[in-house]
A and B are shown apart, each in its own frame.
Chain A
Amino acid sequence: MIVIVNYGVGNLGSIENMIKKAGAKAEISSDVKTIEYAEKLVLPGVGAFDNGMQHLTDSGLIPILTKKVIEEKTPLLGICLGMQLMGVKSEEGKLSGLGWIDAEAIKFRFEPGSKLKVPHMGWNRIYPKQNSYIFNDMYKEPRFYFVHGYYMKCNKVENVLAETHFGSDFSSAIIKDNIVGTQFHPEKSHKFGLKLMQNFIND
Chain B
Amino acid sequence: MLKTRVIPCLLLKNAGLVKTFKFKDPKYLGDPINTVKIFNDSGVDELTFLDITATIENRRPNFQFLSQIASECFMPLGYGGAIKTFEDIEELLNIGIEKAIINSEAVEKPEFIKEAAEKFGSSTIVISIDVKKSLFGKYEVYTHSGKKATKLDPTEFAKKMEDHGAGELLLNSIDRDGMMKGYDLELLEKVSKAVTIPVIACGGAGNLNDFSEAVSKTHVSAVAAGSLFVFQGPHKAVLINFPTEEELEHIFDK
Q: Which residues of A approach B to under 8 Å, CB–CB? A: 10-14, 16-18, 20-21, 46-48, 116-117, 119-125, 143, 145, 147, 165-166, 185, 187-191, 193-194
Contact = CB atoms under 8 A, between A and B. Distances in A.
A124 B2 contact: yes
Given A13-B94, A122-B2, 4 more contacts: A14-B70, A47-B124, A122-B221, A188-B74
B84 interface: no
A11 B98 contact: yes
Contact of B123 (A117, A121, A123, A189): A121
Chain A contact residues: over half helix, strand or loop, or mixed? Answer: mixed
B197 interface: yes
B2 to A, nearest CB: 5
B198 A117 contact: yes
Contacts of A123: 2-3, 5, 45
Nearest to B1: A165
B74 A194 contact: yes
Cβ-closest 10 pairs across A and B: A13-B96, A14-B96, A47-B121, A123-B3, A190-B74, A11-B98, A13-B95, A147-B123, A122-B5, A188-B76
Interface of B: 1-5, 40, 43, 45-46, 67, 70-71, 73-77, 93-98, 120-124, 167-168, 196-198, 221-222
A17 B73 CA distance: 8
A123 B45 CA distance: 7
Contact of A166 (B2, B97, B123, B198): B2
Contact of A21 (B5, B74, B75, B121): B74
Contacts of B4: 122
A21 B75 CA distance: 13
B96 A117 contact: no
Contact of A189 (B1, B75, B121, B197): B75
A3 to B, nearest CB: 16
A16 B221 contact: no
A190 B3 CA distance: 15
A122 B6 CA distance: 10
Contacts of B73: 14, 17
B7 to A, nearest CB: 10
Given A11-B98, A13-B93, A122 B222 contact: yes
A194 B74 CA distance: 8
Nearest to B168: A121
A123 B245 CA distance: 12
Contacts of A47: 120-121, 124
B45 A46 contact: no
A188 B1 contact: no
Contacts of B93: 10-13
B244 to A, nearest CB: 13
A190 B75 contact: yes
A190 B41 CA distance: 9
A121 B167 CA distance: 10
Contacts of A21: 74
B121 A117 contact: no
A182 to B, nearest CB: 15
A21 B74 CA distance: 9
Given A17-B74, A122-B45, A11 B96 contact: yes
A46 B74 contact: no
B71 A17 contact: yes
